[in-house]
Amino acid sequence: MKLAVLAGDGIGKEVTREAVNVLERVSNLFDIDVRIEQFEIGAEAIKANGSPLPERTLEGCLESDAVLLGAVGSPEFDDLLPEDRPEIGLLNLRKHLGGFANLRPAKSHPSLVNSSPLRPEIFEGTDLLIVRELLGGIYFGEPRGFSEDRRRAFNTLTYSAFEIERVARIAFDIARDRKKKLTSVDKANVLESSRLWRETVNNVAAEYPDVELEHLFVDACAMHLVTDPNRFDVILTGNLFGDILSDEAAVLTGSLGMLASATIGGKVDLYEPVHGSAPDIAGKNQANPLGAIECAAMCLAQTANKRQASEAIQTGVQKVLSEGYRTVDLITNADDVKVTTEEMGELVGRYATESANFTHAHRAV
Ligand code: IPM
Ligand code: MN
């Protein structure tokens, strides 16, 4: 597997370093040939090359099987227009890679129930996955811009039936392999694009009679996520609603730093933690690398089709948490053992390889 690593801005460097270390240790153990190359993106790339997505980066990504991205965004560029900001590098990269289905799983870890802002009895057992449409909607709709006097600004929320169908099929397929429940989220009481979304999802549902489908308005979904997250299995939604709901779902698990995402359906798969560049803690060896490490696990399962190696990483993460190791964002009580970004990565790598060795040894017997 050829993997392009784009560490990007802020804590992106620290968390991807740990993810790559864990990935290399586990791949070595399982004899998986992973070739890693690093490229620049975002604010870093603007400073070095004048572009948030240099040509070399894009070419390197298009020649790879998968891309692992850290984070993009920096307050230095806050005053710039969207088209000049670091974020446009990521949006253009997504467009070129072509993946339109962004999978964001949020799961309750038994040893982290006290880190959730929700009461344990409400959050315990939650296991949901958001399928966010990633290449359409208001993020990319035209026309967009400012009026000449800059007293007005506009964006376009547009979806075609084709764009809705293809992401809906992915969501239904995933629901079929899980608890067979799909919640489609829209704002069909107000928006035409949402009416089409709902009709199209209903049409696709005819191909999946075994999957239970419900529709929710996005405001109601935001509420149910905090009152009864256990009611969800797979949530399907558009680009902007998915962006918002996934931060909400992420933080329920204990910290925004915990969540990974995989973007599929295009030429090259893209893996990104859901958290941002967190400039306030960048360079302090404090960031939670587990979201990025979970990306490495998703990449092994999805792109490389190496389930055992992927599970070894997940076992490593579980073990680290159940032993009480916490980066600062996860600390809730006096027994927690505070660790740095690097220590967390090292521990996951160690436990992941130990668990794999143990499984191997048992198989041999
Ligand atoms: C995310 C991020 C991005 C998005 C930004 C950095 C462009 O918030 O992946 O959720 O809005 O898609
Ligand atoms: Mn976001």
Cα 354 to averaged position of ligand 1 atoms, centre (Å): 35
- Lookup: tokens for 315: 């076992």
Task: State yes or no: pLDDT of 278 exceeds 60.
Answer: yes
Query: What is the percentage of the chain residues whose pLDDT exceeds 90?
Result: 93
What's the rounded mean pLDDT across residues 90-94?
97
What's the rounded mean pLDDT across residues 304-330?
96
The total of other beta-carbon atoms located within 10 Å of residue 9's CB is 32
Q: Which residue in the block uniquely carries the two structure tokens 């992941």?
A: 352
The preferred substitution site among 91, 93, 130, 246 for testing ligand 1, maximizing ligand atoms within 8 Å of CB, is 91
pLDDT band at residue 268 under the 50/70/90 scheme: very high
The per-residue DSSP string of 274-311 comes to SS---GGGTTTT-S--HHHHHHHHHHHHHTS--HHHHH
Question: Which one of the listed residues 9, 186, 233, 243 is annotated catalytic?
Answer: 243
Fold classification of 117-252 is Isopropylmalate Dehydrogenase (3.40.718)
pLDDT band at residue 363 under the 50/70/90 scheme: low
Which pLDDT score, from 0 to 100, does residue 365 have? 45
Q: Are strands 260-264 and 269-273 parallel, antiparallel or unpaired?
A: antiparallel
- Lookup: tokens for 15: 């968390």
Which pLDDT score, from 0 to 100, does residue 58 have? 98
User: What number does the ligand 1 atom closest to the CA of 90 have?
Assistant: 7
- Lookup: tokens for 247: 């931060």
- Lookup: tokens for 139: 């993020």
- Across-strand partners of 127? 107
Instruction: Please check whether residue 46 is in contact with residue 52, taking contact to mean a CB–CB distance below 8 angstroms.
Output: yes
Query: 177: which residues sit within 8 A by CB, 6+ positions away?
Result: none
Instruction: Please check whether residue 301 is in contact with residue 307, taking contact to mean a CB–CB distance below 8 angstroms.
Output: yes
Cα dihedral angle (298, 33, 98, 251), rounded to 10 degrees? 20
Q: Which of 221, 290, 228 is nearest to 255 (CA)?
A: 290
Cα 357 to averaged position of ligand 2 atoms, centre (Å): 37
Question: Out of 31-40, 110-119, 305-314, which region has the weakest mean confidence (pLDDT)?
Answer: 110-119
Query: 230: which residues sit within 8 A by CB, 6+ positions away?
Result: 122, 124, 125, 126
Average pLDDT, the chain: 96
**Hey, do 1-108+255-365 and 117-252 end up sharing a CATH topology, with the first three levels equal?**
yes
Which pLDDT score, from 0 to 100, does residue 262 have? 98
Q: What is the pLDDT of residues 280-294, one digit of tens each?
A: 999 999 999 999 999
Task: State yes or no: pLDDT of 361 exceeds 80.
Answer: no
- Single-letter amino acid code for the residue at 266: G
Q: Where in the chain are the domains?
A: 1-108+255-365, 117-252
Query: 114: which residues sit within 8 A by CB, 6+ positions away?
Result: 120, 332, 333
Q: String of b and e for 128-145 (b: at least 16 CB within 10 Å)?
A: bbbbbbbbbbbbbbeeee
Q: What is the pLDDT of residues 28-56, one digit of tens each?
A: 999 999 999 999 999 999 999 999 999 99
Instruction: Please check whether residue 174 is in contact with residue 104, taking contact to mean a CB–CB distance below 8 angstroms.
Output: no
CA 292 – CA 12 distance, rounded (Å):
9
Question: Which one of the listed residues 187, 208, 269, 325 is annotated catalytic?
Answer: 187
- Lookup: tokens for 106: 């949020």
Q: What is the pLDDT of residues 70-82, one digit of tens each?
A: 999 999 999 998 8
Q: What is the pLDDT of residues 211-265, one digit of tens each?
A: 999 999 999 999 999 999 999 999 999 999 999 999 999 999 999 999 999 999 9
Domain covering 1-108+255-365 assigned CATH 3.40.718.10 in the classification: yes
- Across-strand partners of 107? 127
Which pLDDT score, from 0 to 100, does residue 358 have? 72
pLDDT band at residue 333 under the 50/70/90 scheme: confident
361/252: higher pLDDT: 252
Q: What radius of gyration do the chain's Cα atoms show?
A: 20
Q: Is 243 a catalytic residue?
A: yes
CA distances from 104 to 193, 250, 256, 346 (A): 23, 9, 12, 25
Task: State yes or no: pLDDT of 364 exceeds 60.
Answer: no
Task: State yes or no: pLDDT of 360 exceeds 70.
Answer: no
CA dihedral for 116, 118, 123, 127, sign (positive or negative): negative
Task: State yes or no: pLDDT of 105 exceeds 50.
Answer: yes
Q: Is 65 a catalytic residue?
A: no
Q: What is the pLDDT of residues 56-67, one digit of tens each?
A: 999 999 999 999
Task: State yes or no: pLDDT of 349 exceeds 50.
Answer: yes
Cα 353 to averaged position of ligand 1 atoms, centre (Å): 32
Instruction: Please check whether residue 181 is in contact with residue 175, taking contact to mean a CB–CB distance below 8 angstroms.
Output: yes
Q: Is 187 a catalytic residue?
A: yes
pTM reported for the whole predicted model: 0.94
- Lookup: tokens for 259: 């969540």
